[in-house]
Amino acid sequence: MNHTPLEDQVHDALHRRVDPLQHAPLTVADVRGRARRIQRRRAVAAGAAVAAVLAIAVPFGLATTGPAQRTEVPPVTQPPAPTIASGTVLVDPSSAETLAETPVPLLDVDAPSLITPVGTTDLPGPFSVLTPYLDGWVGIQMDEGTGTLRFLDADGPAEDGASPTGGLVASPDGTRVAWSTYTGSEWEVVVADPSGSTEPVRTTFPPAPQEHRVEPVGFVAGDEVVVRTFDDSVETKTYVVRGGRPVEVTALLQAESASAATGLVAGLSRLTADGACSGAVNGAGTPVWETCEHSIGAFSPSGAYVVGTDPEADGYGSPTVSVLDGSTGEEIVTFEAVLPRRTVGGFWSQVAWEGDDALIVRLFRGEEYDMMRLGLDGTVRRIDIDSAGASGLTVAQPW
């Protein structure tokens, strides 16, 4: 069958997004190999969250001391509005201030461990994702590029064994976690309470080969989780799983993120002869906004912001990472990587939110990696922690 150039472009773009573990931590050799593969496909590029703390100042009012007399009470001082940068902020690790500890949990794959603001925990192997569950953890353990779902308790791997998985996500408030597993004949999505106070809700998809993956994307409300599915043609469908039943969302070619605060789902909306466009839809599938200037990443915990990257980015990462208005898709501030001459690089792999205040990103420059904290106020800091090296670091908890 003959294909038009646009059909080929659609196929290539969706094929680029098929990898269920595309955000896995990689070594330099992995980066090089994967970059070459992605470039040959002419790819269209596509956390742990710290909950935002909202401080509310309540006016106290006036106190009276008699019918015709009152004492003025000084007005309550309102906290200053947070400063939000605009325009373009340059990101140069060599001149940035340093942080002696990580503001969010990180995973080190070179020396398998979980690094948190309060200490480091050794792991029984490299993990690309890890989040609290019951008295231990649930995560995706990596083995030569393949990920399996693993449960850990205080003494190491639990006896539940390992299962093929399409991914794992956690809600921003940590009250829900969702994963998918292949049972041998069909894919199943599990939504669970990490505290164990309620029984997990299981949703089974029709029998299909393991290659027809079902991948969790993020939560939109309570137990409702967005997933995407793949078939033999590398085309995807998006569903909201609610009450044990998948409901299809047809307005996106492929979902990439979701907001539990606003109920929006974002991702690839369409491809044109000039490139790719992304957008956000509500739970009913009605388009809310669209942009052809950015590929869409994770929403902030409140849903006020969403990450945007260069839609033409290649396997070396996006040269920029932007913060967009979560309700309109309008660009607020863009962070641009400072790269030495003749050096390839960009913002690579997972991007996590630290509340609504900052992004935690991994910057790749030639042979060097740096974990960076990019504040919405325009501050740029390099996370300087004791680890095997930023080439093996990634954020721990996706959502």
CA distances from 362 to 101, 128, 151, 349 (A): 15, 14, 26, 7
Instruction: Tell me the pLDDT tens digit for each residue of 116-164.
Output: 888 898 999 999 999 999 999 999 998 877 889 999 987 777 766 678 9
Instruction: Tell me the pLDDT tens digit for each residue of 325-375.
Output: 999 999 999 999 999 888 888 998 678 999 999 999 999 988 888 999 999
pLDDT (0 to 100) of residue 55: 25
Backbone conformation region of residue 325, classed left if phi is above 0, alpha if psi is from -120 to 50, else beta? beta
**Mean pLDDT on 57-64:** 27
Q: What percentage of residues in the chain have a pLDDT greater than 90? A: 55
Q: Is the model's pLDDT at 234 over the cut of 90?
A: no
Regarding the domain delimited by 87-395, which CATH topology (the fold level of the hierarchy) does it fall under?
Neuraminidase (2.120.10)
pLDDT (0 to 100) of residue 71: 41
Of 190 and 36, more confident = 190
Read off the pTM: 0.78
Closest to 50 (Cα-Cα) out of 102, 107, 91, 120 = 102
pLDDT (0 to 100) of residue 175: 94
Helix extents (H) in the chain: 5-16, 28-40
Query: Tokens 């909306």 appear where?
Result: 269
Please say whether the beta carbons of 361 and 371 come within 8 A. yes
Of 232 and 366, more confident = 366
Of 131 and 385, more confident = 131
Instruction: Tell me the pLDDT tens digit for each residue of 258-311.
Output: 999 999 999 999 988 888 899 999 988 899 999 999 999 999 999 999 999 999
For residue 234, what are the contacts with CB-CB under 8 A and spacing of at least 6? 11, 14, 15, 18
Q: What is the mean pLDDT of the chain?
A: 79
pLDDT (0 to 100) of residue 391: 64
b/e map 28-39, b = 16+ CB within 10 Å: eeebeebbeebe
Of 81 and 245, more confident = 245
Instruction: Tell me the pLDDT tens digit for each residue of 23-43.
Output: 333 332 332 233 333 333 323
Token duo for residue 352? 């996590």
Spatial separation of the C-alpha atoms in residues 116 and 45, rounded to whole Å? 29
pLDDT (0 to 100) of residue 82: 65
- Give SS3 for 284: coil
pLDDT (0 to 100) of residue 183: 92
Spatial separation of the C-alpha atoms in residues 191 and 204, rounded to whole Å? 12
Spatial separation of the C-alpha atoms in residues 372 and 357, rounded to whole Å? 14
pLDDT (0 to 100) of residue 390: 56
Closest to 322 (Cα-Cα) out of 97, 93, 104, 88 = 88
Backbone conformation region of residue 180, classed left if phi is above 0, alpha if psi is from -120 to 50, else beta? beta
**Mean pLDDT on 191-198:** 94
Neighbours of 237 (CB within 10 A): 18
Token duo for residue 24? 């896995």
pLDDT band at 67 (very low <50, low <70, confident <90, very high): very low
Q: Is the model's pLDDT at 77 over the cut of 80?
A: no
Query: Tokens 């955000």 appear where?
Result: 23
**Mean pLDDT on 183-208:** 94
For residue 86, what are the contacts with CB-CB under 8 A and spacing of at least 6? 332, 333
Count the helices and strands in the chain (H runs, E runs). Answer: 2, 31
- The 8-class DSSP code of residue 392 comes to G
